[in-house]
Structure formats: structure tokens, C-alpha cells
Structure 1
Amino acid sequence: MNRSSESFRLLPGAAASPVILHVPHSARAIPESVRSGIVLDDRALERELDHITDSHTADIAAAAAAACAVTPWQFVNRLSRLVVDPERFPDEREEMLAVGMGAVYTRTTHREPLRPDGFDGRPLVERYFHPYAEAMTRAVEDRLTAVGRAVVIDVHSYPAQALPYELHGDGPRPPICLGTDPFHTPPALRAAAEKAFAGFGGTGLDSPFAGTYVPLPHYGRDRRVGALMVEIRRDVYMAEPGGPAGPGLDALAGALAELVDALHA
């Protein structure tokens, strides 16, 4: 099946694959109806997109999927995280609310105003956040029905130097950060990732970014859903901020394919 909308696209993989490569932050597109609620001028907005976008991560996921012996599924956000961030909690549980970066951002990476004071983000949550979450939930449930398990691999990137919005930016910044969850990241999944990415100068756990993405209906409830976040330090594969990709992209795609193939074994 191939599901798509204005805000996301599900690219089908092999029927027997439990793996979903989730790419939530790679896009820069912002609908004009959303752009009108952002206070930055065009130049400042492009600069913010350079900093906040996980550039080229969709290309890494696509190249990895093409190289896998068994093709994984891909769920790709087609809109910038400045529209909504599908990986935030949409309520007061979200710790990033402290820096204006809940499901709907009101501050930039440098803690400057992104939207006006008192901005009501609820219409954006209804239009974009909830349909995305529901589609991702269906994608996971489809894998559970077809294969009996699902493994969500989040594909992210992060800057070599901490940005002011980071709540935990004073910790280690390894070439590859693996975000884990005590319920959804079994030791074998973590070990497979550490092996696959061993050639990039070191992996670290949960620093500077921690946790994984699991749809809320399954979060903390269904151990058949495994999850791991792969955070790639941007200087490993691209010019910062927002520049072109370099030769590191192909090597990363190969490592990600190795991880996915290990999960199919």
C-alpha cells in the first residue's frame, strides 16, 4: 500500500519486513497558510530552516532502503517541523514546551520569536499532527498484522555544535547518537545498531538527544513494537548549516542498510 497526503508519505516495503524507517524532520516545505503565521522574514526563515531541518536524512533512508536485501517501509514527513513536530507530545507532557518547541513551535533554535505571543496552535495540531500520528499508528499496526512485530527506526541528524534551544546540549556529541527507550529498545536492537555504525568514529547513547518514537497507542504497552532513534552528527555527511551532502551520505546509507538487514535476519 502507498499512503500519502499533503504532510506525509508512506513508501511500501516488502510484505515480510517489520521495519519502518521514519523520517520526520527532513523537509523544508511550509504551506503558505502556515507561513503567514510565522513572524520571521524570508531570509531569517531560510536561516532557521538551515538550523532546524535534518537535511538529507530522507535521502539516507531512501538509499538504505534501496540497498537492503529485504526492503523496509519508509514513513516520510513531507512538511517542515516548523508546521508541526510529529514527534512531540501535543500536551503539557512535552518538556520542550520550556523553550517554545512543543508540537507547534513558537520559538526558534536561538530562542527568538517564531510565532506571535498568544498564538493558538490547536488548528495546526488538528490539521497536521493528528492525521500524521494516526497514519503512523496504522503503519505500525499493519506490520504487526502482517509480520507479528514492528521496528521503528527514526532517522535524524543534529548539529556538531549545540544550539541554544537544546535542553541537554552540554553532554557528549558522538558521530552517531542512538536514542533508546527502556521498554521498546531491546539489547539486541541496540547492539545491532552499534555494530552497523561502528565505522564512524564511535556511537553514544541518548546524548545529546534521547528516546524513541512509538505511536501513543503502543507506547509502553506493546513489546512487539521495537524502536530506536539514529541521530547522525551533521558534520559526518554534510556542510553545516543546511549545506550540500558529501560522501559520508553513501557510507551512512550503507550502515543503515546493514542495520535493517540485521533486523530481518
Structure 2
Amino acid sequence: MSRHSPPSFELLPGAEDSPVILHVPHGARDMPPHVRSGIVLDDDALERELDRITDAHTAELADVAAELCAVTPWRFVNRLSRLVVDPERFPDEREEMLAVGMGAVYTRTTQRGVLRADGTDPEPLIDAYFRPYAQAMTDSVADRLEAAGRAVIIDVHSYPSAPLPYELHGSGPRPPVCLGTDSFHTPPELVAAAREAFGEVGLDSPFSGTYVPLEFYRAEPRVSALMVEIRRDTYMTEPGGPAGSGLSRLASALARLVDAVPH
């Protein structure tokens, strides 16, 4: 168990009849020492990279939102940095982010510098962290399907106000809230509810798509998904500073979105 300390992820229970899972995959900075040893950055450079890559305060945002909801959603929270593994990537050639060294196991930084040495084998990290996370998330969705008859995954992310070099689609609009959608898993009424809750939003720019476990992806219509990308200057000091008053406002908006999902 020492190789998995601190915990890799945590499922925080909600109401038994709630179909909603607030998924927070990129909000942590922690890395086990044996993973840190495989990263070539010195301590100062690593801290700067964590400032840029971490969706800071998103776990707190989800926590506050859950407390405000009339029916408490479930929360699935990654407790390790995405520099360990990124649980929302494909672990193979289907992942377009491999082009910039950011597949399931990152080999390049947000600045397109070296993060891990060329030739690093990703399989030990995928086996130790990616696959258990994916299975646990799959099980969580299956539990919601059994208990509530459907599952609604709301991904809670943030993104910087200015594009970073690794972004493949960074030249488009950067609204206060970007909604990532999927033609199969994102029903129009879920987008409409998010527009009503957050106000000024954009669709699929600068980030698009949603996260759905592969077992259900494009196969189970009872699984809905929406990615909520919040621009960081609306709630925190960039790049990795403290949260401000915007966090409570956005948490209230997220709670309104959750409460708009039929139970």
C-alpha cells in the first residue's frame, strides 16, 4: 500500500437516488515519491508546472456545491496529480494528446519541455494508477445506473485565461465557462440547464468532449455527461494562487446545475 499513499482517488457518497457524479480528475498536486523520482524537473520547475497544470480548488468547489444541493450528488475525486496519470486520457494511440506528450502518462510539460525521459515505460503507472481509477469510476457509474436508473457525469475542471503551449485548440474563444459536450452522451436539456445555471458560457472551446468510462462510451444512452471548464481568473489568482470570492458564486451555479437534473 505504500506505493499508493496518499490515496489515489476517493468516492464521496451522495443521496442514494441521485444519478449525478461530480467528477474532479485534475484538482490535486500530490505525487508519491517513487513517481516524483521519474520526473526530470527540479523542485522549483515542478512547482511551476503544477501551478500551470492543476485545476486548483476544483475539489473544494465541488464540495461546496454538494453541500448546497437539494439532493446531494456523489463525488469522485482524484487525490493525485495528473502528472502521475491523467485518468481522462486513452492509454493508447486513440489519444490525440499523445502528439504533445500528454497521453495517459505525460512525457512533456505544458511548455512542451521534457517531463520524463524519452523511452520511459508508461505501463507501470498505467497498471498501478490508471486502470484501478478507471475500474472504480466504471463501478461508480454502474452503481448509479442500478440505484437511480441513469447516471449523469459532470466533470469539474478549470483552465487558464491565456492559452498554454501544449493546447491543441487554444486559439478559439475562452469564455468564463466552457461546456464540453459529446453528441451521444450530452442531451440538449443538460446543456440548457448549464447555460441557465452559469450564465455566460461557450461550447467546446478551448476544450471539448466529455468523460465517460469506456464500458459505457457510445454504448449506454442512460449515461449522460457534461464537462464544465471554468476559466481560472474568474475564481482564483493565476497561475496557482488562492481562491477568491468567485469560488462561492461558481459553487452555487454548479449546485443549481445539479439540482436541475431530474431524479
TM-score range, shorter chain: over 0.9
CA distance in 2, matches of 1:243, 1:121: 31
CA distance in 1, matches of 2:196, 2:217: 26
- CA shift digits 1:224-251 (9 cap, x unpaired): 0000000000000000000000000000
What is the deviation of 1:117? Answer: 1.0
Aligned to 1:154: 155
The DSSP-based 3-state class of the residue aligned with 1:38 is coil
Please say if 1:6 is aligned against 2:4. no
User: Which stretches of structure 1, 4 residues or more, deviate above 2 A after TM superposition?
Assistant: none
Preserved CA contact (<8 Å) 2:6 2:80 = no
Give the RMSD, CA atoms, in angstroms: 1.0
The DSSP-based 3-state class of the residue aligned with 1:89 is coil
- CA shift digits 1:96-146 (9 cap, x unpaired): 000000000000000000001111111000000000000000000000000
Preserved CA contact (<8 Å) 2:8 2:80 = yes
CA distance in 2, matches of 1:67, 1:219: 30
Please say if 1:30 is aligned against 2:31. yes
Unmatched 5+ residue regions in structure 2?
none
Please say if 1:245 is aligned against 2:246. no
CA distance in 1, matches of 2:48, 2:163: 16
Aligned to 1:255: 253
CA distance in 1, matches of 2:235, 2:94: 33
CA distance in 2, matches of 1:181, 1:188: 13
Unmatched 5+ residue regions in structure 1?
none
What is the deviation of 1:264? Answer: 3.3
CA distance in 1, matches of 2:7, 2:236: 27
Aligned to 2:53: 52
CA distance in 1, matches of 2:19, 2:6: 23
The DSSP-based 3-state class of the residue aligned with 1:134 is helix
What is the deviation of 1:211? Answer: 0.2
Preserved CA contact (<8 Å) 1:70 1:264 = no
Say which of 199, 206, 209 aligns to 1:208. 206
Normalization by structure 2: what TM-score? 0.97
Normalization by structure 1: what TM-score? 0.97
- Counterpart code for 2:86: D
- CA shift digits 1:161-206 (9 cap, x unpaired): 00000000000000000000000000000100011001xxx20000
CA distance in 2, matches of 1:65, 1:125: 30
Preserved CA contact (<8 Å) 1:7 1:128 = yes
Aligned to 2:232: 234
